[in-house]
Amino acid sequence: MSDKVLKINDLHVAINGKEILKGVNLTIRQGEVHALMGPNGSGKSTLSYALMGHPNYDVTQGTATVDGVNLVELEADERAKLGVFLAFQYPTSIPGVTLANFLRHAVTNVRNPNRKEGEDLLPMRDFRKELKASMDELGMDAEFARRYLNEGFSGGEKKRAEVLQMSMLRPAFAILDETDSGLDIDAVRVVSEGVNRVAAKAHTGVLVITHYQRILNYIQPQFVHILFGGRIVESGGTELVTKLEQEGYDWIRAKYPLEAQIEDELEANATGALPAAAR
């Protein structure tokens, strides 16, 4: 099967009528690793939610396509079936639903996109075997599968559970929304290794959204982008990461004064713009 391409073209996104993204362009091929960096409120999480199809994020202009199919017109579950995956920064808990039960439904649907509701799930035995293997790789205890989804999980457990889901769903494209936030350095390493392993197996195109260099030492990007004032203003290689780490965003502000102004406004509104789950 030939590689899929995720193409984001002039994407404008608004929340509650307020435009956050003002024309994002980005192309990711399967197997590539891209990093997206930017200050707080620059619209990084907005991009991830909009790509996954959160109902509160309105695409007002532009497209995001996977092999020519416009994601913008699809529900979140249909995007998942096309191979798009989002590792949430703040995964929601679902009381009473075990991780295993949830994942069996998810995996069945994503692997058999034409399955009708009520049709058979993946055979329990095969599913369990595969789940156990994935959990072993991530150093997760088997008991974990019987816990209620994200209910009472520690920060590290939540992120590990996200990577476990990615591992089982084998997406063509994975967006990691600040997967490193709130993790200590060992946890960052374990989670990153997990991502690398899955990405290699499924030939996943990865978009790592982060503030810090740390995670990029483990998940090494070929392409680095800086989102600033609702647009990608710089794209390059890892030298951009080094430059940001050393100099911060001042040079960006100086170089893009118009965007800097927008950025200041966005930052002031940032807390109001985040979805409820992210607060």
Partner 1 sequence: MSTDLNLQVEGIKDDYKYGFRDSDANYSFKSGKGLSREVVEQISAMKNEPTWMRDYRLKALDIFWSKPTPSWGGDLSEINYDDFHYYMKAADRQGVSWDDIPAEIKNTYDKLGIPEAERRGLIAGVGAQYESEVVYHSLRDDLAQKGVIFVDTDTAVREHSDLVKEYFGTLIPAEDNKFSALNSAVWSGGSFVYIPKGVKVDIPLQAYFRINAENMGQFERTLIIVEEGAQVHYVEGCTAPIYSTESLHSAVVEIFVKRDGRCRYTTIQNWANNIYNLVTKRAVAYENALMEWVDGNLGSKLTMKYPAVHLRGEGARGEILSIAFAGKGQHQDAGGKIVHEAPNTSSRIISKSISKNGGRSSYRGLLKVADGAKNCSSNVVCDALILDSQSRSDTYPYIEIDEDDVKIGHEASVSKIGEEQLFYLMSRGLSEAEASTMIVSGFIEPLVKELPMEYAVEMNKLIQLQMEGSVG
User: Which residues contact partner 1 by CB under 8 A?
Assistant: 52-56, 75-77, 79-81, 85-86, 88, 91-92, 94-97, 101-103, 105-107, 109-110, 117, 148, 165, 169, 275-277
Q: How far is CA 28 from CA 10, 19, 33, 129, 223, in A?
A: 15, 24, 8, 32, 9
Q: Which is nearer to partner 1, 19 or 177 (CB)?
A: 177
Two tokens at 246? 């050393």
Largest CA-CA distance found in the chain, in angstroms, rounded? 59
Using the minimum distance from each CB to partner 1, give the nearer residue, 10 or 75.
Answer: 75
Q: Which residue, 156 or 275, has its beta carbon nearer to partner 1?
A: 275
Nearer to partner 1, 56 or 261 (CB): 56
Taking CA atoms, 261 is separated from 24, 193, 229, in Å, by 18, 38, 8
Is the Cβ of residue 109 or residue 192 nearer to partner 1 in the bound state?
109
DSSP run (H or E) holding 247: helix 239-247
Q: How many CB atoms sit inside 10 A of residue 246's CB?
A: 8
Q: Which residues contact 10 (CB under 8 A, 6 or more apart)?
A: 23, 24, 25, 61, 62, 63
For the CB of residue 197, give the shortest distance to partner 1 in the complex, in Å.
Answer: 20
9 to each of 26, 64, 67, 160, 214, how far by Cα in Å?
7, 6, 13, 32, 29
Work out how close the CB of 168 gets to partner 1 at its nearest, in angstroms, rounded to a whole number.
9
Cβ(33)–Cβ(220) under 8 Å?
yes
- Taking the least distance from each CB to partner 1, the nearer of 268 and 277 is 277
- Minimal distance in Å, beta carbon 169 to partner 1? 7
Question: Cβ distance 279 to 271 under 8 Å?
Answer: yes
CB of 206 to partner 1, least distance (A): 16
Pairwise CA distance, residues 135 & 141, whole Å:
7
Question: Shortest approach of partner 1 to residue 220 CB, angstroms?
Answer: 26
Cβ 113 to partner 1, closest distance in Å?
8
